[in-house]
Structure 1
Amino acid sequence: MDFPLAGIRVVDVSSTFMGPYCTMLLAQWGAEVVKVEPPGGDVVRKIGDVRGTSMGPVFLNVNRGKRSVLLDLKQDGGRALLERLVTRADVVVHNLRPDAAERLGLSADAVLRVNPRAVHCAFRGFAAGGPYADRPAYDDVIQAASGMAAVQGGAGGAEYVRTAAADKIVGLMGAAAVLAALRGRDVTGAGQVVEVPMLETMAGFMLLEQQGGWVFDPPAGPAGYARTASPHRRPCRTKDGHLAVMIYTDAQWRAFFTCIGRPELAAEPRYRTIRERTEHIDELYALLNTHMATRTTEDWLAELERRDIPAGRVNTLTDLFSDPHLAATGFFESLDHPTEGPLRLPRQPVRFGPDTGRQDHPLHAPALGEHSLEVAREAGLDEAEIGRLLTSGALAHPSDTAHTDKDGEGRRWQTSNTP
């Protein structure tokens, strides 16, 4: 059985994290993704590039399963080849600002003019029509503007979440929006225009549980969510380490109160329902932290599992590579990259049923321009046209192409579970 997006062609003219994460997901779900890169390539190629190969770890992760074409879109020839790619595409994804998209022929009007069935997905910092519409935006700016940094910092002042949360969340939203648009095209036969704005996406994400009394008009109370705002909400210190414990339902709190020898607390008016417990969450978390400190991590894990109370160790990033559950489920895979050698990468976590098996379609991240020639040929250019583009610099490919299989099958590499 094929992966669900088998046969879908995506032209990806995005860079950094957000758009490439969206298109990586589409590739992992079966789509054929052509990544159009400028001279010099996507800037993330250089992040952590300790080998000096323009194949840094972020790029290797977020651009798996794509083919790279190096096009100079400032040249007529580069834009003409891009247009050919667009005419054959089901989806076009970019994170260009509107004026740049217009210049390069990637505005929604330009794309649908040459391919009326295309899904045009544009990532933007801010939605069209507002005073911020033309501003540049990156993850940190959106974490601040959406309220995420203020919530994360709490009373101590604003702080960023220590991962590119906005980029990745908006990338996920973009992937979902593309799938919805493809379904709409299946019904209507017409292309779809999709705008995925970062601020609006993250504001909605934050307000889901944080809007509080401001759901009502006029407001019936403050914004925010007391449980996540509690200064006591943190991994609990045990006798020999730390443990994450999340007690939420009535049954879980009754089980915990019994566990610590205080079953009568379940009848306390302050703790009987989730509403009352949320209002008094600082007291409950202080009680939890006090008791966690009396036993070892292993003792508590066994006890809480027996009582069906959610708990888990506090892993470092390095711990993930030896986690027994991730090992048992085959979360990591080994990949023999054609230029970077052996890699260990996380598999895409979504399973589509037993018949799809494990992913064995293109998984490696491409060298800059690795597939320029094969994609140009697929787009219908003859050797003379390709030669002219190469001479002008509008099209380029790696000088060492020994690893590139001319029939296009060289991008399909065998994978296996990491031992």
Structure 2
Amino acid sequence: MQTGFKPYEGLLVVSLEQAVAAPLASCHFAEGGARVIKIERDGVGDFARAYDSAVKGAASYFVWANHGKESLCLDIKAPEDAALLHRLLEKADIFIQNLAPGAVERAGFGSDVLRARHPRLITCDITGYGDSGDYRDMKAYDFLVQCESGLVAVNGAPGHPGRIGVSVCDIGASMNAIIGLQKALIARGITGKGSGVQVSLFDTAADWMTVPLMHSDYAGKAPQPVGLHHPSIAPYGGFATADGEMLAISIQNEREWANLCTQVFGRPELITDPLFCSAAARVRNRRDTDALVAAYFAAHSRAELEKRLRAAAIAYGAVNSVATFARHPQLRRVPVTLSDGQEAALVGRPTRHSFDADCPRFGRVPALGEHSAAIRAEFA
């Protein structure tokens, strides 16, 4: 297979989308070579366009999730625009939507109706809580789903539950939508028929909460917030160094504990000390365990500690700020052109294939309605 192969080339994706979950999913297909037409409201557009102005005047979320697409402004309640959308869907392979529950059905674009009319069409509905149940019509912003699913209850510091600092439910729902759509494309290749994909933010978060839920169901107690620590492993967490940095370590087994004691601390007697002689003992005596590590780290510089930890094969990592992360030697950047012609940089694709050429740049971020006239003429 030649390098630079685009596996989605030739696919047409139509996405009636806003915010993060659906735009991020359709952007995956744009990066893979599909033609993606983003449907927006005239004059308003995707409200993520106005989330912030951090990227040279453009919104960070919008730039991240919408490069490489075409923007078409439609009023799907207007007969002429509804007819145009149906003409688009006659040619489309995938239709994605994440409007408020019931909105597309009321406009005549419900997934079941569309697949009956266009049998090869694959539809994807991304919702907050699914299409049934008492919460079906609830507004479901990422933070609220984090709260409802218990994610915040197992994050943060002791006594202070915390929101995860990025929109993980939106992002996770998008990834699940991509997985579902890829499965549907394979199924269509076998059967010749489209199918429907349903994903919700709540189901996504609930899946991630399986282990805490099983602890609650079967052990009678769910894990509590422990900050940078771990509820059942010690030492595990971040410790300040002599030069004001912070390093995190994770000791997963007795061999690693022995290496830490002998090769880093220079205190082999700690291996058999009753306070620390087993994983259970170290967790039971976490305060003493952490104090021991903290005292040693506080007396040595980050550079010296990293040298010793690496030599001892101890898992460690720096507790970086975002500014420090921005200079990380492993961070890959890819340029993108903003809708006004300026250039910015995004993080490189997280998945790479052997048939991928090095991505020289992402597709351009569309201005609101930038392609409306051309698409209307094409599908007239």
Separation (CA, whole Å) in 2 of partners of 1:278 and 1:8: 53
1:9–1:89 CA contact under 8 A, matched in 2: yes
Matching residue within 14, 23, 27 for 2:17 = 14
**Partner residue, 2:268:** 263
**Partner residue, 2:344:** 343
**Partner residue, 1:220:** 219
2:335–2:362 CA contact under 8 A, matched in 1: no
2:334–2:359 CA contact under 8 A, matched in 1: no
Q: How does 1:272-351 map to 2 (within 5 A)?
A: 281=286, 283-326=288-331, 331-337=332-338, 339-351=340-352
**Partner residue, 2:375:** 375
Q: 1:105 to 1:249 in 2, by over 3 A?
A: farther
Shift of 1:291: 2.1
Q: 1:278 to 1:105 in 2, by over 3 A?
A: farther
Query: What code does the residue aligned with 2:213 have?
Result: Q
Question: Which string of whole-angstrom CA distances, capped at 9 and with x for unpartnered residues, describes residues 87-140 of structure 1?
Answer: 212111111233201022331112202221222111111123321112111011
Matching residue within 182, 186, 194 for 1:183 = 186
**Partner residue, 1:388:** none
Query: What code does the residue aligned with 2:313 have?
Result: D
Shift of 1:174: 1.5
**Partner residue, 1:359:** 359
Question: Which string of whole-angstrom CA distances, capped at 9 and with x for unpartnered residues, describes residues 353-396 of structure 1?
Answer: 1x4212358512111111123323443x1xxxxxxxxxxxxxxx
2:230–2:237 CA contact under 8 A, matched in 1: no
Q: 1:292 to 1:127 in 2, by over 3 A?
A: same
**Partner residue, 1:253:** 257
Q: Please, what is the CA RMSD of the aligned residues?
A: 2.7
Separation (CA, whole Å) in 1 of partners of 2:290 and 2:184: 44
Q: Percent identity?
A: 28
1:212–1:224 CA contact under 8 A, matched in 2: no
Q: 1:213 to 1:150 in 2, by over 3 A?
A: closer
Separation (CA, whole Å) in 2 of partners of 1:51 and 1:204: 33
Shift of 1:335: 3.4
**Partner residue, 2:47:** 43
What count of residue pairs does the alignment treat as equivalent? 370
Q: How does 1:5-154 map to 2 (within 5 A)?
A: 5-39=8-42, 40-49=44-53, 55-154=58-157
Matching residue within 187, 190, 195 for 1:192 = 195
Shift of 1:35: 0.7
Gapped runs of 5+ residues in structure 2?
Answer: none
Q: 1:373 to 1:222 in 2, by over 3 A?
A: same
Separation (CA, whole Å) in 2 of partners of 1:212 and 1:285: 28
Q: 1:276 to 1:377 in 2, by over 3 A?
A: farther
Q: TM-score, normalised by structure 2?
A: 0.88
Separation (CA, whole Å) in 1 of partners of 2:194 and 2:278: 49
Shift of 1:338: 5.5
Q: 1:58 to 1:146 in 2, by over 3 A?
A: same
Show structure 1 runs of 4+ deviating over 6 A: 50-53
1:11–1:91 CA contact under 8 A, matched in 2: yes
Query: What code does the residue aligned with 1:101 have?
Result: V
